[in-house]
Amino acid sequence: MNTWLVIGVLFGSVSIVGILTLLFESFFSKIKQYVTTIGVSFVLSLICIHILPELFSNPKLSSIDNPNLGVYLLIGFLIQIILELFSRGIEHGHVHGHEHNHEGGLEITNKVIYTLFFGLCVHAFIEGIPLFILEGAHHLGHTHVNASQGFSAIFFWAIVSHKIPVAIVLMLFFISAKIKKSTAIILFFTFAFMSPLGGLVGTFLQDQNWFDSLSVNLLAITSGMLLHITTLLIFEEYHHNKDKVKNILLIIGGILLGLIIFS
């Protein structure tokens, strides 16, 4: 996939969704749960059917000396848990731990806003680094090995599908925080650029000899982060939701969508 096309689609899709959410707040507030559930289920299907099997079985990906990809998947889990101390779980489609004022409304301080924003941007940056690791050629030892284009494309679409629900929730959070629209847009565009920026950093790291032994491990870490988000969102809230049947159907629909499109 063309590097600049990938960056343009990723940045553009997140930005457009954010602006539309700002303009049509009421509509996106109503569909947020549906978009989040379908999107997360879609990503989970890509992780289970394509990303993890190829990560563990493809000889082009597992030829690093003595890899232990399972450990790095767990590291990804732990990194995401730490990041959520800052982001308050906004990657899951909602924000945990809001303080309430005496009138019972949400009291969102600047500290909450910028701490959450920091955690979310770090998550997006790390997530973007592997975008181009499988593009072009890897230097495994001194041998050039062509990467799997299919895997890199699937990983890209998993990131896009994950980012769109997050974009809706983030903009709705900015609106609820009652910050100035100009500030909200600047912060949002910064967030939208973090995954593309991570991808650009990844393209630089690909050319560094010391990075060869880390690239596959980084893919495993990012996959672990995504796996944590997708599984926690599906099993955390919706088993206790009054619309349990509807949510189960949305989850099944998202999984089937991933299977159909990338079968």
Q: What are phi and psi of 169, to 5 degrees?
A: -65, -40
For the segment 202-222, the average pLDDT, to the nearest whole number, is 80
pLDDT at 96: 56
| Residue with tokens 């299977």, as numbered in its chain | 259
pLDDT digit string, tens, across residues 120-174:
999 999 999 888 876 544 443 333 334 445 567 888 999 999 999 999 999 999 9
Amino acid 142: pLDDT: 36
> What CA–CA distance (Å, rounded) separates 199 from 213?
18
143-146 and 137-140 beta bridge pairing = antiparallel
pLDDT digits (tens, 9 = 90+) for 185-209: 999 999 999 999 999 998 888 777 7
Bridge partners, 106 (sequence order):
100
By three-state DSSP, how is residue 138 classified?
Answer: strand
| pLDDT band per the 50, 70, 90 thresholds, residue 236 | low
pTM of the model: 0.84
Give which of 24, 37, 32 is closest to 169, Cα–Cα.
Answer: 32
Residue 17 or 149, more confident: 17
Does pLDDT of 119 surpass 70? yes
Amino acid 45: pLDDT: 93
Structure tokens at 217: 């491990």
143 CB burial (10 A radius; 0-12, 13-18, 19+) = exposed
Q: Where do the structural domains in the chain lie, given as residue ranges?
A: 3-261
| Beta bridge mates, 232 | none
Mean pLDDT of the residues in the chain? 80
The helix/strand/coil state of 58 is coil
Percent of the chain with pLDDT over 90: 38
One-letter amino acid for residue 147 of the chain: A
| Distance separating alpha carbons of residues 132 and 134, to the nearest angstrom | 5
Q: Which residues contact 58 (CB under 8 A, 6 or more apart)?
A: 148, 151
* Helices 110-128, 149-176: crossing angle, 10 deg rounding: 170
> Which pair of structure tokens corresponds to residue 116?
């959450």
Of residues 6, 263, 258, 243, the one with CA closest to residue 132 = 6
Contacts of 140 (CB under 8 A, 6+ apart): 63, 64, 212
The one-letter code for the residue type at 7 is I
List, in order, residues 6 or more apart from 8 with CB less than 8 Å away: none
Q: What is the DSSP letter of 108?
A: -
